[in-house]
Each structure stands twice: as structure tokens, then as C-alpha cells.
Amino acid sequence: MYAGTLCFDLLLGDVRSLKEKRSVVRPIVAELHRKFAVSAAETGDQNLYRRAEIAIAVVSGDLGHLKDVLDRCERWMVARPEVELLSARQRIHGDDD
């Protein structure tokens, strides 16, 4: 069994309040969950309205499948026009950890 995590550090576009931030972040989290069947949540920078940290987690019995899902999620996030991806940190844990 393998567990993978991917954490995105995002700079949001034309956002001027926490309410506007939620209107950008919530659809991203929901779409990650729906499109890729991953667990997704906003995990940091909740008090900063132009920054967001979104993390996803995946569990799979196949390492290749896990890496493919994480890579597709990262490519999808890079293509989002309303956010700028500042960094993406990927970690994979296996039975040996």
C-alpha cells in the first residue's frame, strides 16, 4: 500500500477579501475531489486572502497509479488561470516507511 500527498502553495489573482478567497478555493478543492477521487482540503494560510495552501492525499495499492494521479493533479493546478502555483511538494509513503 502506498500513500501520497501533494501540497500546493498558491497565489490567488484578483482577490480582495477572505470571502472572495473562499469563492476561488472552494471550487478548486471540490473539483480536485470530484475529478481525481482524492481527498482535498485547504490546509494553510487561511488568514491571508491572496495566498492559499491546498493539500491532497491519495492511497493506492499501485505505486504507478498513485504517481500518475498526483502528476495529473499538479498539471491540472498549473493550468488554472485564477491561481499562480508557487510551489508543489509531493511525498510518497510506502510499507517501508
What tens digit of pLDDT does each residue of 2-56 get?
A: 999 999 999 998 889 999 999 999 999 999 999 999 999 999 888 888 999 999 9
> What pTM value is reported for the model?
0.89
pLDDT score, position 47: 86
Grid cell 501540497 in the structure block, residue: 7
CATH of domain 2-92: 3.30.70.1120
The domain limits of the chain are 2-92
Average pLDDT over residues 50-66: 95
Q: Check: CB of residue 2 under 8 Å from CB of residue 66.
A: yes
pLDDT score, position 45: 80
DSSP 14-58: S--SHHHHHHHHHHHHHHHHHHH--EEEEEE-TT-SSEEEEEEEE
Q: In the predicted model, is pLDDT for residue 97 greater than 80?
A: no
